Amino acid sequence: MKHLDPSEMSCPFAAARQETGIGKMDDQNDPVTILLRLKDVRKTAHNWKTFQSEATPGRIVIPSEVNIRETRQIPFEIDPPRHGEYRSLVEAWFKRPLEEDYTSKLTTQIEMAIDEALKNSSLEAVTEMALPIQSRALTLLLNTPYEEAETWISWGTHVFRSEGEALDANKANVLYDYIDRELDKSAKNPGEDLYSVLLNSDFEGRKLNKEEAEGVMVLTFAGGRDTVINALTNSIAYFAEHPESLERIRKEPEITGKTVEELIRYFSPLTQMGRVVTEDTSVCDEDIKADTRVSLCWASANRDESVFENANEVVIDRKINPHVGFGFSHHKCLGATHARQIMKVFIKVLSKKVERIEILDHKDNIEELGEFKRKIGFHSLKVKLHSKLS
């Protein structure tokens, strides 16, 4: 096998994407037909009538979470037109990361994290950098006290999975109990946080109920966790191996927005998302039966060589970049504004304060997807940050 640098992420889907456009994987006896081309992924994402999200809760996620949760995540596991009604309740809230005050608090948090890291002779970037940054930034999105992040940090990188990738119902229950308690607190004593905002929302002529609020909160905690952590850790590895890119951003900070999009395309922090087929259909000449699953493989679509020039390279100022790293169509990522701001601020602060990054050790996190194996990030990434001043 070709030796890969730690930051290099090859695309395991390339041959299948070119040959047939589809891949197959089993997942807990509920097989998945994986759609690999950008055009098919987009078309299928649009067609919610045939490819639904509102199936048994957890079934559109791969690996399926049907055995570990019953709560429907909202708006993610709801189809139009109700999907839009739920989404409109929270859309403005999830755009707050664009506000100046939010960005300035986020900048302070990230500056503190990087200053702290610069004091250490080495650190493990997943648990000592990416996880705390993600968790502390989440206090801004939820508008809860900064100290709450300590509890979330103690849960580790994934709320539904333990080390070794097994789905873990006990771990999921910790999150459910926590959200339950917080919703009760906000019901008794409403404040300015997301829990209170949800419980106070009007939906179809009534107040949103606790179960629905829980559905939004679980998604907020789970959806942006390992994804953001992987995006940050992969960025650290990338800049460690490409100091020239860090230098370029130092000189031309105005390209940072493009760099964020390109890194999201290249890393594709969420490999795929499923849909349940409602009627017999076919994609890429493949017959697909009702009540089976397909997946929209963002990671493969983002390397589609018929769309992206030099698809397997990071071009930090890529001009035309119609990537689907945040999904596509009505279900595109609700947390994308927040995630983009975290990445943007992180890269800017890194370029200002850090001269170079040294990788001391790393352990890759590889997803097993049937015939495909895909690197999604790191189990651990030990690095040393060298200050610009030293």
* Contact positions vs ligand EMZ (CB under 6 A): 61, 65, 73, 76, 160, 219, 222-223, 226, 270
Token output for 322: 């119609």
Q: Is 387 exposed, middle or buried (0-12, 13-18, 19+ CB in 10 A)?
A: middle
Min separation Cβ 123 and ligand EMZ, Å = 25
Q: Which is nearer to ligand EMZ, 71 or 259 (CB)?
A: 71
Distance CA 194, CA 185 (A): 12
Q: Which is nearer to ligand EMZ, 86 or 160 (CB)?
A: 160
Distance CA 354, CA 327 (A): 32
Q: Which is nearer to ligand EMZ, 102 or 160 (CB)?
A: 160
Quick one: how far is CA 378 from the chain centroid? 14
Q: Which is nearer to ligand EMZ, 131 or 270 (CB)?
A: 270
Min separation Cβ 256 and ligand EMZ, Å = 24
Distance CA 273, CA 43 (A): 14
Q: Which is nearer to ligand EMZ, 153 or 315 (CB)?
A: 153
Tokens 């709450």 identify what position? 148
Token output for 132: 């705390």
Min separation Cβ 70 and ligand EMZ, Å = 12
Q: Which is nearer to ligand EMZ, 73 or 341 (CB)?
A: 73
Min separation Cβ 77 and ligand EMZ, Å = 9
Tell me if 349 sits within 8 A of 296, measured CB to CB.
no
Distance CA 221, CA 292 (A): 28
Token output for 381: 């990434």
Min separation Cβ 76 and ligand EMZ, Å = 6
Q: Which is nearer to ligand EMZ, 160 or 239 (CB)?
A: 160
Question: Within 10 Å of residue 371's Cβ, how many Cβ atoms?
Answer: 12
Q: Which is nearer to ligand EMZ, 74 or 249 (CB)?
A: 74
Tokens 């001391």 identify what position? 360
Min separation Cβ 43 and ligand EMZ, Å = 20
Min separation Cβ 302 and ligand EMZ, Å = 15
Min separation Cβ 176 and ligand EMZ, Å = 12
Min separation Cβ 227 and ligand EMZ, Å = 7
Distance CA 381, CA 373 (A): 20
Q: Which is nearer to ligand EMZ, 84 or 190 (CB)?
A: 84
Min separation Cβ 100 and ligand EMZ, Å = 27
Q: Which is nearer to ligand EMZ, 160 or 195 (CB)?
A: 160
Phi and psi dihedrals of 361, rounded to 5? -165, 155
